[in-house]
Structure 1
Amino acid sequence: MEENTQYTEDNIRSLDWKEHIRLRPGMYIGKLGDGSSADDGIYILVKEVLDNSVDEFVMGAGKTIEVSIQGPKVIVRDYGRGIPLGKVVDVVSKMNTGGKYDSRAFKKSVGLNGVGTKAVNALSSYFRVESSRDGKSSAAEFAQGNLNDQEFLDETSRRRGTKVTFIPDEAIFKNYKFRTEYVAKMLRNYVYLNRGLTILFNGEKFFSENGLRDLLEDNNNKDDMLYPIIHLEGDDIEIAITHSKTQYSEEYHSFVNGQHTTQGGTHQAAFREAIVKTIRDFYGKSFEASDVRKSIISAVSIKVMEPIFESQTKTKLGSTEMGGKLPTVRSYINDFVGKYLDNYLHKNPDVADKMQRKILQAERERKELSGIRKLAKERAKKSNLHNKKLRDCRVHLGDIKKDRRLESTLFITEGDSASGSITKSRDVNTQAVFSLRGKPLNCYSMSKKIVYENEEFNLLQAALNIEESMEDLRYNNIVIATDADVDGMHIRLLLITFFLQFFPELIKEGHLYILQTPLFRVRNKKETFYCYSQAEKRAAINKLSGKPEITRFKGLGEISPDEFKYFIGEDIRLDPVMLDRETSIEELLQFYMGKNTPNRQEFIINNLKVELDLVEEEK
């Protein structure tokens, strides 16, 4: 066969630094997203700038960082040493330039590869950096990584430090919006890991006196803790542990050099192993690992010399060495936990007693479940051969080496028509569909036994692969896709109840969403607008001349697959399901699914205001 494509010198081209980042942003900041997910690119941009300011604090320079986000504009100001004035432009626009290549200056830094602020610069429609030191200042302004303006002042009254202002580029981040809840959580983690650091965010102050102990206390209801938090610290390690009275699953918050490793890694695996070994040795009993760790709520933070992460966004540690003359990560954590947790349990027999009773209770429950679990697995094995509930995708969250793993999504739908529309229009690489048969069971206040007895829940648990641990979760985004009516709202509540009851950390870690679907289509012969509210419908009518055709969608099943692709593609609109820090899971479940029908009815009616408004308008 004749080869038609010519391959000459003309085919070879070199991209400059900013072109490369803009062409392949996923390599640098993971997925793009619109801000509805905590791991969307716009938050990685904020984090990359913040990492530099936090590293200044770690080096003993500057105790306060000011962060402001107003609309799309982000401002981060620190009072560190300031970038050397002659290098202000180079540091934010030249690859392989930065202070962190000098290990003497930044021994245990996060951003060792010197790419962070360059990526922010290249991916911003506006980027300004200002540095003040020694009574002088230097500033540079960029657009899409191109230098537009530069200024240098021989005299300034500004306090020393660095100020970065940027606006993420809408050409890359479509229809994005910063959610302050995600930014606040990120900032809290920074202060938990850097005691003495104050971060001011839009006027709110973040500060921590007790490190990881504060993290567990702020994220969990005190009344649900089985015993006071065990808080232990060493030179390059800090841990905090308690057990929940009601939670079924394990919960870990893990960090390396101040970086939140949401995907865990070698340090988290070593920590889980060390807890089991220490507790077995302390009680002199070979407890099952799952019984020891059931209901555990914990956090671990370590500092490593020049850490190796499994992705540019640094969510999973790959390093096995601590660095220098220290032992491996595994033996370092095992030795620390083995010594200090053992000492703590010897000195606090009341805590040791509560812990042992919790482990024995977990053992009893596991044995009670083992028979029904075996039956459920056999049933699932048989039904999997014919199971049409799950239409899987090709890329999953655990595929560390695949670029799009953070886009992996499972849509949970109701009814065959809606499932069919999503299945036909989805991206088969990253989007899977799980089809419900009518309304799921209300599992409020039920035991884990129901997950195995109820075929639908058992298959959903198997599809997500979360029976043993959250570490094996197959999809980064779990999206409830139901109609915007009373029945659809009820199904949402029943599914949220299932996750709150048995897998609350899916919600705590920001994996659960509600799919927004359009209520109207407004079009003429030239243009089509999909509208999610009355206001959007009015705006669309005003944009289109004459009398446009208006279609009202009453259910997902009415939307054709050809149209559905617009709502689950790059313009997908998701509402994250978030936990209020002030409300416990038990209180939430009691409100939504307890015996308070009038309150719940009022909630559903208030949240269906758009739907009811439409009904009134149509009358």
Structure 2
Amino acid sequence: MTLDAAVYDESKIKTLSSLEHIRLRPGMYIGRLGNGSHPDDGIYILLKEVIDNGVDEFIMGAGKTIEIAVGEEGSVRVRDYGRGIPLGKLVECVSVINTGAKYNTDAFQFSVGLNGVGTKAVNALSRRFEVTSFRDGEFARAVFVAGELQEEEKGLSKEKNGTLVEFQPDPAMFPDYTFNREFIRKRLKRYAYLNAGLHLDFDGESFYSEKGLLDLLEAETSGTQLYEPIHFRDKTIEFAFAHTDNYGETYFSFVNGTYTNEGGTHLSAFREGLLKGINEFAGKKFDGEDVREGVVGAVAVKVREPIFESQTKNKLGNTDIRAGIVAVVRDEVSAFLYKNTELAELVIDKIQQSARVRKELQHVRKEAKAKARKVALKIPQLKDCKYHPAPGKPSPSGRENMIFLTEGQSASGSIVSARDPMTQAVFSLKGKPYNVYGQPLATLYKNDEMYSIMRALDIEDSIGRLRFDKIIIATDADVDGLHIRNLILTFFLHYFESLVKRGHVYILETPIFRVRNKEETIYCYSDKERTEAEKKLAGRGSKRRPVEITRFKGLGEISPKEFKQFIGPDMRLQQVDIDTLSEVPRILEFYMGKNTPDRREYIMAHLV
């Protein structure tokens, strides 16, 4: 027997160019690919990498404006007014990995893109990539197709110094992609907040902040903060924070101009410095949980050589900066409180109130845990999955687990039968959840169902211990189902707001209609889709065929065999998102509060 396919010799060794390797293993460089329906999809990472270069120029004092445009066909144009890429190295800087000025600390003291990969990844993953650099009356231009250089040009120019990048993500890498302009706007807002003085122009709208992180905090906590935010800024660190009446703690952390949504060393150091600063001022040893309860904070640091967990820069890993950040935050917080005694009293009052509430809750928590142990060692409504990510660490690429929160036994039965038991868990609600809006935290421990959800997710002590990558609300598409959905969302927004802010909560979209003939079946998610499917399957004239249309009244009516495709790799998920924290109280008050006449009037006015 011969095994020619297994022959291992010199002919099997292959050397890839920089851009070939990026196209072969895109996940190593930009994380997920996606189609633009999620803010972390690859097309937004490509846009971010190009904008980052303009931000780096601003940080170095060159160029105060970045212009961004996205065409209807998915093309992108980014123009900065920095120093421009050195003309003689233009091609290398956008096509050869580990080439760039960001290794030279004289040229770039604080840069996001230190690994020299960003723009190369954009080039490699674009159908067409064009870069033009303008420097001191001259220009150089290069055009690439799928990472391959097509043409170069040099000459004289009257344009202002800077760099123009135009690219179109390759549909072969990003099938059926579209840019969500709201995702882009949110990213540009953050760029503006942490780069005070930088103008970002997009779709005729200018994003600009004069006060930096203080503006961010004002926007996020407007109407909910207990006092004017405390703010500090120097050349390498900026932070701002304020207490609110919300549960838990919420932070926005940044490194060298980019948002680190998973935090890292700088965030943990800021939290420690905040605790030490307040304790130093008060001359007491408050518990960290009490000091940070209700805090909304933002911290941005500039690091000469940042170490990120991946090219997508979600989490900072530098350990050498920790002590310095702790010391600065401690000293500045303590000094601020000494200078502002009235504000300091509000801070201490809030901490003491949090301590009292925590102590009052201790016996309630103890009783709830004892009661849960008597019922069962396991959570009775939970059908768990086998795989869970390590707490506080991102899941390996391509491997995510999820939990479906469903209503009733029939719906959960379909999902349990159709699910992948390795990565998909199911929690079955007994009925309509309790409306917790305006209820104290003790209510969470006295309500069996809500307490069981918290235990299933393992978020009692910390959101960082979440056992699932995605929390998916799966309810019927009728009035009762929508009401249950709102009650679950109220539970998360009221007690565990950070789960929503971090993008863990989703809504499962399931088909409302099944349209079929003898040859084909089409599942439809709206009346419009049903009408189109009916026309397609019925045919025209003498070739008209009978069409069967079934309306699913609930999830339990969909057979497990059918349901499997709706919770498979192509499942339709709608991520629950809130623009700012300050929106939450207003939304909950309107939809879940006691203003029944106003709500009824709104619903009737918008009823279709």
Specify the code of the residue in structure 1 equivalent to 2:470. Answer: N
How many angstroms does 1:402 deviate by? 4.0
Q: Within 5 A, what are the aligned runs for 1:242-261? A: 242-244=242-244, 246-261=245-260
> CA contact under 8 A between 1:75 and 1:163: conserved in structure 2?
yes
Q: Is 2:325 the counterpart of 1:333?
A: yes
User: Quick check: 1:400 aligned with 2:400?
Assistant: no
Compared CA separation, residues 177 and 431, structure 1 to 2 (3 A): farther
Offset at 1:103? 2.4
* SS state at 2:378 partner: helix
Match of 1:615 in 2: none
Q: Which residue of 2 aligns with 1:204?
A: 205
Amino acid at match of 2:174: F
2:265 matches 1:266 = yes
Residue 314 of structure 2 aligns with which residue? 315
What is the DSSP-based 3-state SS (H/G/I as helix, E as strand, rest coil) of the residue aligned with 2:411? helix
Secondary structure of 1:224's partner?
coil
Q: Give the corresponding residue for 1:463.
A: 456
Q: CA offset at residue 525 of structure 1?
A: 5.3
Closer, same or farther: CA 317–406 of 1 in aligned 2, 3 Å:
farther
Superposed, which structure 2 residues align to 1:339-358 within 5 Å?
339-358=331-350
For the residue of structure 1 that corresponds to 2:43, the secondary structure is helix
Match of 2:206, SS? strand
What letter is aligned with 1:185?
Answer: K
- Contact kept, 8 Å, 1:35 with 1:179, in 2: the verdict is yes
SS of corresponding position for 1:152: strand
User: Does the aligned pair in 2 maintain the 1:436–1:456 contact within 8 Å?
Assistant: yes
Task: Give the paired residue count.
Answer: 599
Q: Give the corresponding residue for 1:172.
A: 173
Q: For the Cα contact (< 8 Å) 2:277–2:332, is it kept in 1?
A: no
> Offset at 1:445?
0.8
Aligned partners of 1:479 and 1:513 also within 8 Å: yes
Q: Is the 8 A contact 1:212 1:240 kept in 2?
A: yes
Q: Distance in 1 between matches of 2:225 and 2:395?
A: 38
Secondary structure of residue in 2 paired with 1:154? strand
Q: C-alpha offsets along residues 15-68 of structure 1, whole Å, 9 cap, x if unaligned?
A: 443343233322222223333332222221211111111111112221100112
CA distance in 1, matches of 2:471, 2:493: 14
- 1:299 maps to what in 2? 298
Structure 1 CA distance for aligned equivalents of residues 433 and 156 of structure 2: 68
Structure 1 residue 433, shift from structure 2 partner: 2.9
Check if 1:574 corresponds to 2:560. Answer: no
1:496-535 residue pairs with structure 2 within 5 A? 496-524=489-517, 527-535=520-528
Q: Which moved more, 1:353-362 or 1:463-472?
A: 463-472
Instruction: Give the gaps of 5 or more residues in structure 2.
Output: none
| Structure 1 residue 585 displacement after superposition | 2.1
Q: Mapping of 1:182-201 within 5 angstroms?
A: 182-201=183-202
Q: Does 1:140 align with 2:142?
A: yes
Change (3 A) 1:378 1:90: farther
C-alpha distance in 1 between matches for 2:2 and 2:448: 56
8 Å Cα contact 1:133/1:161 also seen in 2 = yes
Unaligned runs of 5+ in 1: 322-328, 610-619
Q: Which deviates further from its counterpart, 518-527 or 85-94?
A: 518-527
For the pair 1:52 / 2:44, whether they are aligned, the reply is no
Task: State the SS of the aligned residue for 2:370.
Answer: helix
Against the structure 1 CA distance between its residues 122 and 61, is the aligned structure 2 distance closer, same or farther, given a 3 Å change threshold?
same
Residue identity opposite 2:524 in structure 1: C
More off after superposition, 277-286 vs 538-547 = 538-547
Within a 5 Å distance, the mapping from 1:576-591 to structure 2 comes to 576-581=575-580, 584-591=583-590
Q: What is the CA distance between 1:424 and its match in structure 2?
A: 4.1
Cα shift at 1:506: 2.5
Q: Which moved more, 1:246-255 or 1:413-422?
A: 413-422
Question: Could you say which residue in structure 2 is the equivalent of 1:363?
Answer: 355
1:483 matched residue in structure 2: 476
In 2: Cα distance, 1:33 partner to 1:395 partner: 23
Letter in 2 for 1:448: L
Between the aligned partners of 1:170 and 1:398, the Cα distance in structure 2 is: 35
| Local SS of the residue matching 1:90 | helix
Cα distance, 1:549 vs structure 2: 4.3
Residues 169-226 of structure 1: per-residue CA shift (max 9 Å, x gap): 33333443322232222112111221111001111111111111111001122x3111
Amino acid in the other structure paired with 1:113: N
For residue 336 of structure 2, give the secondary structure of its aligned residue in structure 1.
helix
- Maintained 8 Å contact 1:199/1:205: yes
CA contact (8 A) 2:512 2:553 kept: yes
Query: Structure 2: which amino acid aligns with 1:514?
Result: I
Matched residue, 1:66:
67
Higher mean displacement: 250-259 or 80-89: 80-89
Residue pair 2:499, 2:505 contacting (<8 A) in 1 also? yes
The answer on whether the counterparts of 1:128 and 1:139 sit within 8 Å (CA) in structure 2 is: yes
Partner AA of 1:135 in structure 2:
G
Residue 107 of structure 2 aligns with an amino acid whose one-letter code is: A
- SS state at 2:6 partner: coil
Greater shift after overlay, 464-473 or 191-200?
464-473
| Distance apart, 1:76 and its partner CA | 1.4
Which SS does the other structure have where 1:363 is aligned? helix
Give the whole-Å Cα distance in 2 for the aligned partners of 1:300 and 1:504. 19
Maintained 8 Å contact 2:379/2:452: no
Q: Which amino acid aligns with 2:78?
A: V
What's the counterpart of residue 130 of structure 2? 128
Shift of the 73–433 alpha-carbon distance from structure 1 to 2, 3 Å rule, reads farther
**Once superposed, what is the RMSD of the aligned Cα atoms?**
2.7
The letter of the residue matching 2:339 is K
Taking the aligned partners of 2:181 and 2:105, their CA distance within structure 1 comes to 34
2-structure distance, mates of 1:199, 1:215 = 16
Q: What secondary structure sits across from 2:84 in the alignment?
A: coil
> Within 2, Cα distance between the matches of 1:36 and 1:397?
26
Residues in 2 aligned to 1:409 and 1:174: alpha-carbon distance in whole angstroms: 25
Distance 2:548 2:331 in 1: 73
Question: Does the 8 A contact of 2:248 with 2:294 survive in 1?
Answer: yes
Query: Offset at 1:396?
Result: 2.6
Taking the aligned partners of 1:478 and 1:107, their CA distance within structure 2 comes to: 41
8 A Cα contact 1:26 1:403, kept in partner: no
Provide the TM-score with structure 1 as the length reference. Answer: 0.90
Paired AA for residue 473 in structure 1: L
Q: Quote the residue 2:384 is aligned against.
A: 391
Shift of 1:606: 7.4
Separation in 2, partners of 1:397, 1:598: 47
**How far apart are 1:335 and its partner, in Å?**
1.3
How far has the Cα of 1:362 moved from its partner? 0.7
**Shift in Å at residue 476 of structure 1?**
3.8
Say whether the 8 Å CA contact 2:136–2:161 is kept in structure 1: yes
- 1:24 corresponds to 2:25: yes
Instruction: Tell me the TM-score normalised to structure 2 length.
Output: 0.91
The Cα shift of 1:408 comes to 4.0
Contact 2:220 2:581 in 1 (8 A): no
Distance 1:120 1:571 in 2: 26
Change (3 A) 1:70 1:560: farther
User: Cα distance 1:387–1:368, how it changes in 2: closer, same or farther (>3 A)?
Assistant: same
Q: Is residue 377 from structure 1 mapped to residue 369 from structure 2 by the alignment? A: yes
Distance 2:85 2:584 in 1: 45
Contact 1:263 1:471 in 2 (8 A): no
Distance change >3 Å, CA 554–CA 56, structure 1 → 2:
same
2:591 alignment partner in structure 1: 592
Give the match for residue 419 of structure 1: 412
The residue number in structure 2 matching 1:560 is 559
How many angstroms does 1:242 deviate by? 0.7
| 1:157/1:433 CA distance change after superposition, 3 Å | farther
Alpha-carbon contact 2:133-2:162 (below 8 Å) kept: yes
Equivalent residue of 2:78, what SS?
Answer: strand
1:438 aligned onto 2:438: no
